[in-house]
Amino acid sequence: MIRGWWEGVTRRMAEEIDVEIKHLTVQTGTKTVINDVSFSLYKGEVLALVGESGSGKTMTALSVLDLLPPELERVRGEIFFNGRNIFDMGREEIRKIRGKEISMVFQEPFTALNPVMNIGTQLSETLIAHGCFKPTPSKVHGPWSIVPAFAKASEGRHGPIMSDQLKHLLSTVKLLDNVLTAYPHELSGGMRQRVMIAMALSCGPSVLILDEPTTALDVSIQKEILDLIKNIQKERALSVLFITHDLSIVNLIADRVCVMRQGKLIEIGMKEKVLNAPEHEYTKMLLGCIPRLGDTRERLPCF
Amino acid sequence: MNFRILFGSIIIASMALAAIFAPSIAGQDPLKTDLSGGECLKAPSLKHLMGTDNLGRDVFSRMAYGTRVSLSVGFIAVFISLILGVVFGAVSGYFGGWVDNIIMRTVEIVYCFPTLFLIMIIITFMGPSMINVMIVIGLTSWPGLARLVRAEFLSLRERDFVLAAKVQGVSNLRIIFRHVLPNALGPVFVSATLSVGTAILSESSLSFLGLGVQIPTPSWGNILSSGRNYMDYAWWLTLFPGMAILLTVLSFNLIGESLREYFDPRLVGRGN
């Protein structure tokens, strides 16, 4: 076991690093939210960030994009992306990285989509922000298309958002074209999460941060979304930082696991090693919390 | 919804048409006085659809020309205050911090002055004219709108879709005006439509005090105020301008409501 783990470490060391977090410490007033966290995300791997609520997983992810809420202050630490410290970058520089190089998908697909914007427009926003939107006006359907003036007017209205580029984006997440003209409230949770993934992938980022992307979904949809993520990750060799508290998902999707608790990094290592032979007590306890069939325990262990 | 938008649009459209085609529908010169006995303070008849005033002028013609003044003052003043209110409110609510502090303190200072007196003071310096009235009403009525927009932005900026847009690299300016503002437009439009009414009323008050549209030029305000002396026996002098103001304000409100539903698709289909 130890040998396997060591091999994993040496193998990883030879590979390229995408995002490197060094001694990140974030505070709000006197409370330390993230305490001296350091880890790296290697090219093409899926790193699962595990921990209970409030352990600083999401804040770590938001720091990578320099989007910490204003009440949180970064006291110390650097985050390197492609060898450059993102905290040294100008506002415009970091904006160009967000969505184009590093994308993020949130936990709640219900609130992460703008309720008054249709899906096509929302998808195009990321592309427009990075100057890679190619609108292709399409033919107009419906009774009004008989009248040339109306056909022309409605072409302007629906044409760009029905562009081939957006249709292609939707097809990568296995959604149909008619979703483009729909509003978020007309879609189911799974569909919205697919839209979020499509949006995150639209500019071809190399790093994808997934913040509990399946937590708000029911189990069967979870499976579909996870398969989708897994496939896309393999296809594009994405580096994925997968935040979750569900160890069964970790087992399914991750290459390496990183355990956090109360803002501290507790354990990091290859999935097999952390899940089968955890070193730290807290990790053991987390694993002990997975409910099993026929389990008769009444209380969950506490740490 | 259909009834409301139909009613509102018909009234506003007919007002707008009356304003545009005032010369052709008026029939008579609104400034022509007729003091030859019998023509003063005549009740509505076929010759004078809304009667005549104390100087024998045709009230219908004066109303038609007055529509021009009232509507343009209402629209332009609200347009000015809408631009100022939305921009300052949005920036203040979205960025917060010292930007918010400066803008909101400015708003409070503007609020400290009684609006009508502030308008009067500025008008006495600038000189009474229709354009000055529009500008001054616009410049003094934005703080309420700015506060409203700011309040909307304060709650909207915490929403996940704003963070999602930031994560996707959308610039702040675009997030403010394209992502957040459409979500805040409902109350803004309702407030703006109310402001059109308020602006028309302010203009009437100023005209009443002689600081607005100058006397021979008709506006609803000065027709109404000149009619108040004869209210006991010449009801048409106050009824028609009063009704015009009432209908206009009501119509703007009805249209505002319908617009709110248009901008917020979640409301469509709720109720009837």
User: What is the sign, positive or negative, of the torsion defined by CA atoms of B82, B87, B88, B93?
Assistant: positive
Domains in chain B, number: 1
Give A31's strand partners.
Answer: A28
Q: Tens digit of pLDDT for each residue in B233-262? A: 888 888 888 888 888 878 887 887 777 676
A215 backbone dihedrals φ, ψ, rounded to 5°: -60, -35
Nearest to A37, CA basis, from A71, A73, A63: A63
Q: Please check whether residue B102 lies inside any domain of the structure.
A: yes
B195 to chain A, minimum CA–CA distance in Å? 25
Nearest to A116, CA basis, from B268, B49, B57: B268
Half-sphere exposure of A60 (CA within 13 A, CB side): 38
**Contact B183/A103, CB-based, under 8 Å?**
no
Q: Is B52 helix (H, G, I), strand (E, B) or coil?
A: strand
**Contact A125/B164, CB-based, under 8 Å?**
no
Task: Of B69-78, B140-149, B254-263, give the lowest mean pLDDT range.
Answer: B254-263
What's residue A302's pLDDT? 64
Q: Which residue is listed with tokens 């839209």?
A: A195
Q: Please check whether residue B231 lies inside any domain of the structure.
A: yes
B182 to chain A, minimum CA–CA distance in Å? 7
Question: Which residue of chain A has the CA closest to B172?
Answer: A95
Taking contacts as CB-CB distances below 8 angstroms, the residues of chain B near A130 are: 169
Taking contacts as CB-CB distances below 8 angstroms, the residues of chain B near A99 are: 167-170
Nearest to A60, CA basis, from A20, A119, A18: A20
Has the ipTM of the complex gone over 0.85?
A: no
For Cα atoms A130, A38, A281, give the angle at the middle one, nearest 5 degrees.
130
Distance CA A49, CA A62 (A): 13
**Contact A116/B182, CB-based, under 8 Å?**
yes
Best probe of the A interface among B168, B174, B179, B185, by most A CBs < 10 A, is: B168
Distance CA B71, CA B237 (A): 19
Taking contacts as CB-CB distances below 8 angstroms, the residues of chain A near B97 are: 70
What's residue A4's pLDDT? 53
Task: Identify the burial level of A25 via C-beta atoms within 10 angstroms of its C-beta, where 0-12 means exposed, 13-18 middle and 19 or more buried.
Answer: middle
Distance CA B179, CA A235 (A): 32
Under 8 Å CB-to-CB from B115, ≥6 apart: which residues? B140, B141, B202
For the ranges A229-243, B41-55, B175-189, B244-258, the one whose mean pLDDT is highest:
A229-243
What's residue B263's pLDDT? 61
HEC string for B54-97: CCCCEHHHHHHHHHHHHHHHHHHHHHHHHHHHHHHHHHHHHHCH
Best probe of the B interface among A116, A199, A203, by most B CBs < 10 A, is: A116
Q: Please check whether residue B43 lies inside any domain of the structure.
A: no
Section B30-40 average pLDDT: 72
Please say whether the beta carbons of B110 and B147 come within 8 A: no
Q: Which of B167, B169, B174 sits opposite A130 (nearest CB)?
A: B169
Under 8 Å CB-to-CB from A293, ≥6 apart: which residues? none
Under 8 Å CB-to-CB from B208, ≥6 apart: which residues? B221, B222, B224, B225
HEC string for chain A: CHHHHHHHHHHHHHCCEEEEEEEEEEEECCEEEEEEEEEEEECCCEEEEEECCCCCHHHHHHHHCCCCCCCCEEEEEEEEECCEEHHHCCHHHHHHHECCCEEEECCCCCCCCCCCCCHHHHHHHHHHHCCCCCCCCCCCCCHHHHCHHHHHHHHHHHCHHHCHHHHHHHHHCCCCHHHHHCCHHHCCHHHHHHHHHHHHHCCCCCEEEEECCCCCCCHHHHHHHHHHHHHHHHHHCCEEEEEECCHHHHHHHCCEEEEEECCEEEEEEEHHHHHHCCCCHHHHHHHHCCCCCCCCCCCCCCC
Question: Which residue of chain B has the CA closest to A61?
Answer: B167
**Contact B163/A103, CB-based, under 8 Å?**
no
Please say whether the beta carbons of A249 and A224 come within 8 A: no
Q: How far is CA B258 from CA A188, B3, B12, B98, B152, in A?
A: 27, 10, 14, 37, 19
Please say whether the beta carbons of B145 and B192 come within 8 A: yes
Distance CA B27, CA B173 (A): 51
Nearest to A256, CA basis, from A232, A273, A278: A273
**Contact A129/B161, CB-based, under 8 Å?**
no
What's residue A141's pLDDT? 56
Under 8 Å CB-to-CB from A45, ≥6 apart: which residues? A12, A239, A240, A255, A256
Q: How far is CA A245 from CA A9, A51, A72, A213, A229, in A?
A: 24, 5, 23, 11, 17
Please say whether the beta carbons of A57 and A51 come within 8 A: yes
Residue ranges making up the domain that contains B117 = 2-24+48-267
Q: Tens digit of pLDDT for each residue in A21-79? A: 999 999 888 888 999 999 999 988 999 999 888 888 889 999 999 888 888 888 888 99
In this model, does residue B271 exceed pLDDT 50? no
Q: What is the CATH number of the domain that holds B58?
A: 1.10.3720.10
Task: Of A263-267, B150-154, B168-172, B246-250, give the lowest mean pLDDT range.
Answer: B246-250
Q: Which of B97, B165, B266 sits opposite A185 (nearest CB)?
A: B266
Question: Which residue of chain B has the CA closest to A182?
Answer: B265
B110: number of Cβ within 10 Å: 17
Distance CA A268, CA A260 (A): 9
What's residue B267's pLDDT? 60
Residues in chain A where the model's pLDDT stays below 50: 1, 155-158
What's residue A157's pLDDT? 47
All domains of chain A, ordered by start, with CATH? Answer: 1-101+207-303 (3.40.50.300), 115-204 (no CATH)
What's residue A156's pLDDT? 44
Query: Which amino acid type is present at position B122?
Result: I
Distance CA B235, CA B35 (A): 20
Distance CA B94, CA B88 (A): 10
Please say whether the beta carbons of B204 and B137 come within 8 A: no
Give A47's strand partners.
Answer: A241, A256
What's residue B147's pLDDT? 92
In this model, does residue B272 exceed pLDDT 50? no
Q: Please check whether residue B36 lies inside any domain of the structure.
A: no
For the CA atoms of B32, B37, B38, B40, the dihedral, rounded to the nearest 10 degrees, stands at: 50
Q: Which of B163, B179, B265 sits opposite A67 (nearest CB)?
A: B163
Q: What is the DSSP letter of B31?
A: T
pLDDT tier, B100 (very low <50, low <70, confident <90, very high otherwise) = very high
